[in-house]
Homo-oligomer: A and B are copies of this chain.
Amino acid sequence: MIEPGATIGILGGGQLGRMLALAAARLGLKSHIYTPEADSPAIQVAAGHTLAKYEDLAALSAFAATVAVVTYEFENVPAPSAAFLSARGLVYPDARALGVSQDRLTEKTFMAELGLATAPFCAVDDAGGLARAVAQIGRPAILKTRRLGYDGKGQASVREGSDLASVFRSLGGPCILEGMVNFEREISVIAARGRNGDFAAYDVGENEHVQHILSRTMVPARLSPPIAAAAIGIARTIADALDYVGVIAVELFVARDAANQPVLIVNEIAPRVHNSGHWTLDGALTSQFEQHIRAICGWPLGSTTRHGRVEMRNLIGQDIDLWPEFLAQSGACVHLYGKGEARPGRKMGHVTWIVPPRQGPPGQDG
């Protein structure tokens, strides 16, 4: 077990690394940020940092020597670097979780082998493979690069009349074709699994995306209790199968089956803290960031009790200009990430609103 005063190593210096470092500090831990970018928001709140490429083995080795455990804020840590660090100490979540989530084909295959419903999918290695996949899955469908896609990057639609050769050329490399899911809503489960196998999930959130980027999360999601429990059960199945340690995010679609009953379809997993869990900073007893730190340190998981109904809104790009308005709104919890330039699509901050539960009769509360 790691002791307070120890240093957590974090790969990645963005807002997730920053909020992990802030959570570590609450618990008496130091953070060391490893990032190739000097202007990283996480560096501003960490006791130490290394500026180097993720492939720089000498820098990784020195980094590993100064930290008690290594974690990361993004799933695209190069596999050889993760293996190198694993050979030198604790890395959570481990290489298997990274491997599954880095490749959409591996991820979907893993889900299917667990008996979980996914969108229909098919590997695509060349333009001819795309034609065969479209024949199998039909149109419309989405072609995605197997690796390095996020926030809608590395994706192309296959519609009626799309020229398959040019669609494939627009992405190139190994891809996966996924059938469209006619979903009612998008939800996500933010959960944590400890080193001892303990599991704790937050209430399920409902997500709205705009141009493939998360825009809003509302908690709880509009789900019947059995469906909400099933979503959390899916997250636990995945976490247990991976012998996972840390916070995991599982994104799902809620669709209807032929009998018009709701069904849950796994979209993707993220082996890390997740944007749709940012509400936990203000809306839950333990934030997802603290929960992740507790898990990777081998500490008990914290309570996921929620303070009320919650809405989280992302501040993307120029949304950040609204900061004075949000600060002036009573009850709005404002988070700004300390980033310089507000480029389009860049996550600059978020705002959380909490509606407390209705009070009981007067005099019952303090």
List which A68-103 residues lie within 8 A (CB) of chain B.
none
Residue of B nearest to A220 (CB): B366
Partner of A357, one of B18, B28, B29, B364: B364
Contacts A25-B22, A285-B354, A358-B360 hold; do A327 and B308 have CB atoms under 8 A apart? no
Say if the beta carbon of A57 comes within 8 Å of chain B: no
Say if the beta carbon of A335 comes within 8 Å of chain B: yes
**Residues on the B chain within 8 Å of A337, using CB:** 28
B4/A307 in contact, CB under 8 A: no
B303/A4 in contact, CB under 8 A: no
A61 to B5, CA, bound (A): 33
Contacts A25-B18, A28-B349, A331-B285 hold; do A5 and B309 have CB atoms under 8 A apart? no
A5/B338 in contact, CB under 8 A: yes
A358 to B337, CA, bound (A): 35
Residue of B nearest to A338 (CB): B28
**Residues on the B chain within 8 Å of A361, using CB:** 358
Distance (whole angstroms) from the CB of A224 to the closest CB of chain B: 13
Distance (whole angstroms) from the CB of A49 to the closest CB of chain B: 11
**Residues on the B chain within 8 Å of A354, using CB:** 285
B28/A45 in contact, CB under 8 A: no
Say if the beta carbon of A56 comes within 8 Å of chain B: no
A28/B336 in contact, CB under 8 A: yes
List which A98-140 residues lie within 8 A (CB) of chain B.
none
Distance (whole angstroms) from the CB of A356 to the closest CB of chain B: 7
A286 to B328, CA, bound (A): 13
B330/A303 in contact, CB under 8 A: yes
**Residues on the B chain within 8 Å of A285, using CB:** 282, 331, 333, 354
Partner of A365, one of B28, B338, B349, B358: B358
A339 to B30, CA, bound (A): 11
Residue of B nearest to A306 (CB): B366
A25 to B327, CA, bound (A): 15
Distance (whole angstroms) from the CB of A346 to the closest CB of chain B: 13
B25/A45 in contact, CB under 8 A: yes
Contacts A303-B330, A327-B294 hold; do A336 and B44 have CB atoms under 8 A apart? no
| Extra 8 A-B pairs, beta carbons < 8 Å, given A25-B338, A299-B327 | A4-B320, A21-B45, A28-B338, A44-B47, A219-B366, A309-B365, A358-B359, A358-B365
Q: Which 3 A-B pairs have the closest CB atoms?
A: A28-B336, A358-B360, A357-B365
The contact sample of 11 A-B pairs, CB cut-off 8 A, is A4-B320, A5-B338, A5-B340, A22-B25, A27-B334, A27-B336, A28-B337, A294-B327, A302-B327, A355-B366, A357-B365
